[in-house]
Amino acid sequence: MATGAPVISRTETLAKYLALDQKGQIMCEYVWIDADGETRSKSRTLPEKEYTPEELPVWNFDGSSTNQAPGENSDVYLRPCAVFPDPFRGSPNIIVLSECWNADGTPNKYNFRHDCVKVMDTFADQDPWFGLEQEYTLLGGDGRPYGWPTGGFPAPQGEYYCGVGTGKVVQRDIVEAHYKACLYAGVKISGTNAEVMPAQWEYQVGPCLGIEMGDHLWVSRFFLARIAEDFGAKVSVHPKPVQGEWNGAGLHSNFSTRAMREDGGMKKIEEAIKKLEPHHAECIAEYGEDNDLRLTGRHETGSIDQFTWGVANRGTSIRIPRECAAKGSGYFEDRRPASNADPYRVTKALLQFSLA
Ligand code: ADP
Ligand code: MN
Ligand code: MN
Ligand code: MN
Ligand code: MN
């Protein structure tokens, strides 16, 4: 390099500006869910104070640019529904999860939270808890799982699940950053692990009460996309990122009511599973796109055509964890939801079809 151009550290240069005083103002990042089940966001300035969702202004965006509204009537309104500390800009800046509403006062077509809240309210006296296991795949620039050899495949599955060491896992820095960001923001992340397919990871959120489940999972997904952006990586929540002898990605959904958690709760768990059975197809319709590619009855899944359940069996639709069966109470795991499922649709279906 003969140009003599100075070497500039973008990190150091940015840090100089991020340290500046905000003069009593905060940045509020409004986050919403778009027509493709991806998060979008934009920022606005408000006077510094602690805000509840009700105290935050309703805002809007151009829905014709996100396929959420027609061009001739393009305003979609953002109604704040949950507030979190912002792990990217730091407190007192905030993340504002918002519901999408049409100009005529009806919920937007892609606002699945609105109906979920109604069902959560109906069953609120049963104290529904959810714990979701979000699996995802990190992709390289070529759109294949990160670190997979060009034109080839890694060694068969076996050493990657909960793996430690070079050649077994990749991009742990993203996983660690995401974990910390969730803790900082008060998102109820409960753990994380490397998955069976190389470049695939999982984290769990929960137990969460009622509507909090969907809210926290969506914010955790926003964080993951945003952190991957910082690292120049890409996240896929496709349920079968690679065809063949490779595990797909799910959103295992663990569920209990107060009665299931109390002594003798196994009877309630079995009742709930029996009620779910005739609603198999309706559940599958709520459980994500392209799930037929994943629910093959192989690679730790049940078949998409059949409702099955068992204790400690990972080849079924529903699994009762061994320790719950032994204790006679606890929760059950619906293994059917795909990694790209909307948690508002999944938790709503679980309540409607297993309790009503
Ligand atoms: P797995 O063995 O299927 O990989 P994980 O440890 O990944 O299980 O996830 C278990 C999930 O179950 C966690 O998200 C946890 O929050 C959730 N969970 C634990 N107890 C309950 C409960 N009583 N009701 C609902 N969810 C629960
Ligand atoms: Mn503009
Ligand atoms: Mn898990
Ligand atoms: Mn898993
Ligand atoms: Mn699981």
The ipTM of this complex is: 0.98
What is the distance in A from the centroid of ligand 1 to the CA of 141? 33
Strands 75-85 and 94-102: antiparallel
Find out whether the beta carbon of 347 lies less than 6 Å from any atom of ligand 1. no
Q: Residue 2 has what pLDDT?
A: 59
Find out whether the beta carbon of 308 lies less than 6 Å from any atom of ligand 1. no
Instruction: Pick the atom of ligand 1 nearest to 202's CA.
Output: 7
Q: Residue 205 has what pLDDT?
A: 98
Instruction: Pick the atom of ligand 1 nearest to 255's CA.
Output: 25
- Asked whether 206 and 154 are in contact (CB, 8 A), the reply is no
Instruction: Return d(Cα 46, Cα 60) in angstroms, integer.
Output: 15
Q: Residue 278 has what pLDDT?
A: 97
Q: Residue 311 has what pLDDT?
A: 95
- Per-position DSSP letters for 39-97, written without gaps between them: EEEEEEEEESS---GGGSPPEEEEGGGTTSS-GGG-EEEEEEEEEEE-TTT-TT-EEEE
- Which among 179, 182, 204 is the best mutation to test ligand 1's pocket, defined by most ligand atoms within 8 Å of the CB? 204
Within 10 Å of residue 80's Cβ, how many Cβ atoms?
Answer: 22
Find out whether the beta carbon of 210 lies less than 6 Å from any atom of ligand 1. no
Find out whether the beta carbon of 133 lies less than 6 Å from any atom of ligand 1. yes
Q: How distant, in Å, are the alpha carbons of 54, 70, 98, 127 from that of 59?
A: 12, 18, 9, 32
Q: Residue 1 has what pLDDT?
A: 53
pLDDT per residue rounded down to tens, the chain (356 residues): 556 788 889 989 999 999 999 999 999 999 999 999 999 999 999 999 999 999 999 999 999 999 999 888 889 999 999 999 999 999 999 999 999 999 999 999 999 999 999 999 999 999 999 999 999 999 998 899 999 998 899 999 999 999 999 999 999 999 999 999 999 999 999 999 999 999 999 999 999 999 999 999 999 999 999 999 999 999 999 999 999 999 999 999 999 999 999 999 999 999 999 999 999 999 999 999 999 999 999 888 999 999 999 999 999 999 999 999 999 999 999 999 999 999 999 999 999 999 98
Q: Residue 216 has what pLDDT?
A: 98
Instruction: Return d(Cα 214, Cα 65) in angstroms, integer.
Output: 25
- Asked whether 224 and 136 are in contact (CB, 8 A), the reply is yes
Print burial letters for 292-310: b (CB count within 10 Å at least 16), e (below 16).
Answer: eebbeeebbbbebeebbbe
Instruction: Return d(Cα 100, Cα 308) in angstroms, integer.
Output: 36
Q: Residue 335 has what pLDDT?
A: 97
Find out whether the beta carbon of 331 lies less than 6 Å from any atom of ligand 1. yes
Q: Residue 4 has what pLDDT?
A: 78
Element (DSSP H or E) covering residue 27: strand 25-33
Find out whether the beta carbon of 330 lies less than 6 Å from any atom of ligand 1. yes
